Amino acid sequence: MLVFKFGGASVKDAAGVTNLANVVKQYTDQQLLIVVSAMGKTTNALEKLTKAYMDQADDMHDIFNEIKEYHYNILAGLFEPGHPVFDEVANTFVEIDWAIEDEPHDSYDFVYDQIVSIGELVSTRIVNAYLNKEGLKSKWLDVRGYVHTDNTYREGIVEWDKTKTSIINDIPALLEKGIIVTQGFLGGTSENFTTTLGREGSDYTASIFAACLGAESVTAWKDVPGILNADPRYFADTVKFDELSYTEAIEMTYYGASVIHPKTIKPLQNAKIPLLVKPFTDPSAAGTVIKEDGHNQFTKPVIILKQNQVLLSVSGKDYSFITEDHLSDVFRLFAQNNVKVNVMQTSALSFSVCFDLNEQRFEKLLNGLKQDFKVKYNEGLMLITVRHDGVNTIKELTEGKTILLEQISRNTIQVVVK
């Protein structure tokens, strides 16, 4: 039994969906569970719609109409007029109509999950219908009934025991009957509300199903030839890893390597299930294999860039030392506001921390910290992480930039710059 995950880039248009079906046709002798992300940049567009709704902006309906038109154009390239999938997609979009009909009353994160989740619900309707059209017997599955989470909206924490029971009870029998197509990124609460698992969370969804079902492997089909030492959008001379150990992959994703969601690896490591990262444009390519005994070969340093960073420093209002009690209060506020720390550094009089900017969460964090601390911060920064022999690389990458924070450990150098 195999688990496939197809990201947004692989289904960004009608040709992408056709290519997905052609990939699946090469594995008809296997039981397949397919996890699909929202199409193209739909998640970004739905995030924009969520903000417009919360702000009650004048262009809210224009944004929504563009999203619908984008999907209807894909449908038109795949199906004849009158196919039932047109009504299925229209009925799914009605959920957004209902959500934005009244003025917002719920929290931003709750509204975000109810709106942004529609991207995956629509994409999987389209993919499932096309697979059946191509003679590949497929069943659409609502993941919210199987991946159970708590009520932490935008960062749903998986309730593993309940999730595993739901998956084991139903999925093996369904796989006997054909392919399963379901949504990445989404979960459901005990009150039947939708949660999301964090941006790029579809990889994590695939690993959840694989770990619960004891899959042979997970394949993440990407728009890159495998896992590279650096992002090819910024570096021309990247090299591909043929193999990586689970440990190295976890380190890379923790520091911000965007090719795999950070939570993906650990469930697979626990179950000893390999993760393959392969290009959807060339299914026969070897890609990268992540496994227990994966051999790490670092002919070049690993370089990870994280944009849109905040560097924040807190100090006591009375110029006292920063003690363990102070740090406890600071970390409590970070946890309450779901702000994840990328780098931290402490001195006698201050504590500095670097993290991704989320405007709503940052504002709440800032208000909480200012009650007891003096706070200074810089926005619009970049965090550069270099692993494995990176001293010379860091010098090149920081040339002409102002270094605001630097941290060096055995295998890793991290620098915050503007």
**Encoded tokens for 305:** 């860039």
> Dmax of the chain from CA atoms?
72
* pLDDT for res 391: 78
Cα 8 from Cα 353, distance rounded (Å):
32
The answer to the question of residue 224 being in a domain is: yes
Q: Percent of the chain, pLDDT > 90? A: 84
Cα 231 from Cα 302, distance rounded (Å):
10
Q: Percent of the chain, pLDDT > 70? A: 100
Domains: count for the chain: 2
Site of tokens 């709704």: 53
Annotated binding site for substrate: 43, 120
Q: Is 117 helix (H, G, I), strand (E, B) or coil?
A: coil
CB 299 within 8 A of CB 365: no
DSSP 193-237: -EEE-STTTHHHHHHHHHHHHT-SEEEEEESSSS-BSS-TTT-SS
Mark which of 263, 291, 319 sits at the end of a domain: 291
One domain, residues 213 and 312: no
* pLDDT for res 330: 94
State yes or no: pLDDT of 159 exceeds 70: yes
One domain, residues 264 and 393: no
One domain, residues 276 and 384: no
Annotated binding site: 5-8, 43, 120, 233
Burial of 412 (0-12, 13-18, 19+ CB in 10 A): middle
The answer to the question of residue 296 being in a domain is: no
Tens-digit pLDDT profile for residues 291-323:
988 777 788 899 999 999 999 999 988 878 888
CB 358 within 8 A of CB 366: no
Give the structural domain span for 19.
2-291
What pLDDT band is residue 390 in, cutting at 50, 70 and 90?
Answer: low
* pLDDT for res 227: 93
Mark which of 259, 291, 323 sits at the end of a domain: 291
Paired strand residues for 277: 220, 288
Annotated binding site for ATP: 5-8, 233
* pLDDT for res 69: 98
Whole-model pTM over 0.95: no
The answer to the question of residue 297 being in a domain is: no
The answer to the question of residue 94 being in a domain is: yes
One domain, residues 285 and 377: no
**Encoded tokens for 65:** 């109409």
Residue 369's φ and ψ, nearest 5 degrees, are -65, -35
CB 354 within 8 A of CB 405: yes
State yes or no: pLDDT of 339 exceeds 80: yes
One domain, residues 280 and 315: no
**What average pLDDT score do residues 78-103 get?**
96
What's the one-letter identity of residue 50?
Answer: T
**Encoded tokens for 331:** 């970390």
Q: Give me the CATH number covering residue 341.
A: 3.30.2130.10
One domain, residues 306 and 208: no
One domain, residues 126 and 36: yes
* pLDDT for res 42: 98
Mean pLDDT of the chain: 94
State yes or no: pLDDT of 85 exceeds 70: yes
One domain, residues 267 and 339: no
CB 154 within 8 A of CB 44: no
Using alpha carbons, list the distances in angstroms from residue 331 to 234, 262, 328, 359, 416: 33, 21, 5, 18, 20
CA dihedral 76, 25, 219, 118 (to 10 degrees): 30
What pLDDT band is residue 200 in, cutting at 50, 70 and 90?
Answer: confident
DSSP 292-342: TT-----SS-EEEEEEEEEEEEEEETT-----HHHHHHHHHHHHHTTPPEE
The answer to the question of residue 322 being in a domain is: yes
Mark which of 269, 291, 313 sits at the end of a domain: 291
One domain, residues 284 and 135: yes
**What average pLDDT score do residues 330-353 get?**
93
The answer to the question of residue 41 being in a domain is: yes
Cα 19 from Cα 17, distance rounded (Å):
5
One domain, residues 219 and 279: yes
Tens-digit pLDDT profile for residues 91-140:
999 999 999 999 999 999 999 999 999 999 999 999 999 999 999 999 99
One domain, residues 284 and 331: no
Cα 379 from Cα 312, distance rounded (Å):
9
CB 189 within 8 A of CB 150: yes
* pLDDT for res 352: 96
What pLDDT band is residue 157 in, cutting at 50, 70 and 90?
Answer: very high
Q: Give me the CATH number covering residue 168.
A: 3.40.1160.10
CB 162 within 8 A of CB 200: no
One domain, residues 233 and 369: no
What pLDDT band is residue 150 in, cutting at 50, 70 and 90?
Answer: very high
The answer to the question of residue 46 being in a domain is: yes
